[in-house]
Structure 1
Amino acid sequence: MRKTPARTRSTSRSRAAVVAVAIAAIGGTTLVGSPASAAPSGDTTQFKGVNWADPRDNYADDPVVLSGLSTSDTYAQTYAKASRVISAFRANLGANTVRLPINPYTVNGPYWKSYRGVIDAATAHGFKVIVSYWEGTGARKDGFIDDPATYWPMWNTVVKAYKGNSRVYFEPMNEPHGYTDTEWADLAVKWLGTYPSVPRNRVFVSGAGYNDHVTSVCADPRLKGTYLSLHHYGFWKEYATYDQWVSDLKERIGNCASRTVADEFGAPMTTGLDYNKATPDNNSINFIQADTDTFRQLKMGSVYWPGLRTDDTYSLQKLIGNAARPWLATTNQSGADRLAWSWGRGKPVSP
């Protein structure tokens, strides 16, 4: 779930009256989709990642520009900056995956030539890259694809460029909360049918709603062989105990952990909280400890929100050094420790 730094967004799953019109505009015919080749293995622990985001948030009506980058950067400058940020993600956190936003303004316009430098640098450094479509802002921030006439050409360009790169993964839409569970599954099937050359084990199908449950897409046999992406946030509840957060998370996953990656979860990192110590009266600490323990237990990959986003209190990294040669510093070592724990390293929480 994309958020402002204040985390004020409502979590209600609204159903706009224009759902049927939007589905028809996208092309409502349900396609069978491509064969379920190379289904994901028994766990998703190979995805150890972070999100790299636009300081203004990834919902935008212009190109998304990741923290530390600029639309004036050439491909070479973008590649050089991205190489350093990716190297810092690995050095500081042990990450091997980065999730990046795209939209039609980024891909269908002149900035795409430079923006590709981020994807190219990350994969050249051995990172897996999850490329995810984000809708616009204002009235467009409604959980629907903004404009099918620009959405599909965007994906045509991205798929053509990266279908041959085994480190690039495709997420057709972030938080498709405008659609019903069935409508969203139909649209994901349409995406698979449109790009049969993309192996299913390189597609992340978002959970329905705000990516808040994967049980419905997991149960759809038409989506067999894909990964599933889940989002989970502590601000969804004013307070819950550790055990309640574990139960909440497991209910959203169901029996689908072996296909699921939590490609967004997060909590405040710049406010001094110690996530390495059990603190039962603190909701954020309960949440992070419950999620990281459960990801480790279920052998689930996770992609923290955000690894880097300027002026976001949840950001686990911050930019330091020369703007042309950026590096990163960790904002909360205990948060980094919990992320490492979820990835199978480190030590458990102290009592």
Structure 2
Amino acid sequence: MTRRLHAVMIAILAAAMLTVPQAAAATNAFRGVNWADARDNYVDGWVIPTGLTAGDSYDTVRTKADGILTGFQQQLGANTVRLPINPQSVNSDWWARYKGAADSALAHGMKVVFGYWEANKDGFVDDVTAWNTMWDRVTADYGGTSAVYFEPMNEPFGYSLSAWVSLCSTWLSRHSAVPRGRVLISGTGYNDNVTGVGAASALSGTLLSLHFYGFWASDTTRSAWTANLSNRLGAYSSRTVIDEAGAPMTTGLDYSAGHQDGNTFTAYFAATTDLARARQLGVVYWPGLRSGDTYSITRQSGGGLATNNASGVVQLRWGWGL
């Protein structure tokens, strides 16, 4: 074989290797729900998910959580719960009791996502010092637990992309012992686009979180909603968990096949779950349980849960790949 022919063959082989599909990561191991405060999680005080009360002891929180989380598993097939935190909750005696919810989830073999909600509703961390103290404590308690994930801030709409990347980079440096693969970096705005944070080299190795809702547009076709969601994901589907997506579940809408196009919310939810299934995206439904919320996919029933919309549950499970 001549040197020239050898060089040509090497070039051909190299080109062929470049065209071989690379193994893609996926986030569909997150089949989750948000367990939310009835007042919403933007509260200036303790966050107390529906079903818990401020006077509950650790054991009471754990017992109540056992019933609710078992409901999420049995009624929906969930394996992940996203729990709200804030400095008021963590930097107080409520934290020692509230941890019963996370500990119950872990005992049930579930993943836990702790996400920070601010109180001022302006899209900024309320008090950076208190926020750091909160995260120091949460990561000290759960940083060594592989099934626990950390979301530095929910919906950072007050920050520019560069300012948000800078804040997250500082968080990652401060908590460098936490593997980046267990950190969810929120998309910019209302967590509504991950292309900017996905492209930021300072955030490489992290997961990304995206929020997507049907009230953000008035389209009534799955194709329009698919294009909307695809634009928000860009090239970063393999790192992204949709950790808030939901639709009305107490108003009688039918989410089953044949009833999807023609209505904003049924088309939106079908498109979201179809794309999640196709791209193996994790989905954490908003909310799994929140009293007074028409989007709540379950309600309390005795010591456990009942579902609010059977067709909605089927469609969510479809999106989870079940």
Q: Same fold (TM over 0.5)?
A: yes
**Is 1:238 matched up with 2:214?**
no
- Output the amino acid matched with 1:68: G
Q: Partner residue of 2:3?
A: none
Task: From 133, 136, 156, give the equivalent of 2:116.
Answer: 133
Q: Partner residue of 1:152?
A: 132
Distance in 2 (alpha carbons) for counterparts of 1:266 and 1:310: 15
CA RMSD of aligned residues (A): 1.1
Task: From 295, 310, 318, give the equivalent of 2:291.
Answer: 310
Q: Partner residue of 1:201?
A: 181
Checking the alignment, whether the CA contact within 8 Å between 1:278 and 1:286 is kept in structure 2 is no
Q: Partner residue of 1:70?
A: 53
Q: Partner residue of 2:230?
A: 250
**Is 1:83 matched up with 2:60?**
no
Distance in 2 (alpha carbons) for counterparts of 1:161 and 1:340: 32
Secondary structure of the residue aligned to 1:70 is: coil
Distance in 2 (alpha carbons) for counterparts of 1:108 and 1:238: 42
Distance in 2 (alpha carbons) for counterparts of 1:126 and 1:255: 31
Task: From 304, 312, 319, give the equivalent of 1:335.
Answer: 312
- Output the amino acid matched with 2:316: L
Q: 1:239 to 1:193 in 2, by over 3 A?
A: same
Checking the alignment, whether the CA contact within 8 Å between 1:266 and 1:288 is kept in structure 2 is yes
Q: C-alpha deviations, 1:194-215, integer Å up to 9, x for none?
A: 1010000110000111000000
Q: Partner residue of 2:6?
A: none
Q: C-alpha deviations, 1:154-177, integer Å up to 9, x for none?
A: 111101000111111000000000
Offset at 1:278? 3.0
Q: C-alpha deviations, 1:60-106, integer Å up to 9, x for none?
A: 00000010001101000001111111111000000000000000110
- Output the amino acid matched with 1:271: T
- Output the amino acid matched with 1:227: L
Q: What TM-score do the two structures reach when normalised by structure 1?
A: 0.84
Matched-pair identity in %: 50
Q: Counting helix residues as a fraction of each chain, which structure ranks higher?
A: 2
**Is 1:213 matched up with 2:193?**
yes
**Is 1:47 matched up with 2:30?**
yes
Checking the alignment, whether the CA contact within 8 Å between 1:263 and 1:302 is kept in structure 2 is yes
**Is 1:273 matched up with 2:249?**
no
Q: 1:41 to 1:117 in 2, by over 3 A?
A: farther
Largest Rg, 1 or 2? 2
Offset at 1:229? 0.3
Q: Partner residue of 1:172?
A: 152
Distance in 2 (alpha carbons) for counterparts of 1:117 and 1:85: 12
**Is 1:299 matched up with 2:280?**
yes
- Output the amino acid matched with 1:339: L
- Output the amino acid matched with 2:262: D
Q: Partner residue of 2:5?
A: none
Offset at 1:277? 3.1
Secondary structure of the residue aligned to 1:205 is: strand
Q: Partner residue of 1:224?
A: 204
Where has structure 1 moved over 3 Å in runs of 4 or more? Answer: none
Q: Structure 2: any 5+ residue segments left out of the alignment?
A: 1-22
Offset at 1:122? 0.5
Q: What TM-score do the two structures reach when normalised by structure 2?
A: 0.91
Q: Partner residue of 1:181?
A: 161
Q: 1:41 to 1:108 in 2, by over 3 A?
A: farther
Offset at 1:41? 6.7
Checking the alignment, whether the CA contact within 8 Å between 2:210 and 2:242 is kept in structure 1 is yes
Secondary structure of the residue aligned to 2:93 is: coil
Q: Partner residue of 2:105?
A: 122
Q: C-alpha deviations, 1:27-83, integer Å up to 9, x for none?
A: xxxxxxxxxxxxx97100100000000001000000000100011010000011111
Distance in 1 (alpha carbons) for counterparts of 2:321 and 2:213: 21
Checking the alignment, whether the CA contact within 8 Å between 1:270 and 1:314 is kept in structure 2 is yes
Secondary structure of the residue aligned to 1:198 is: coil
Q: When the two structures are aligned, how many residues end up with a matched partner? A: 299
More relative contact order in 1 or in 2 (CA 8 Å, sep 6+)?
Answer: 1
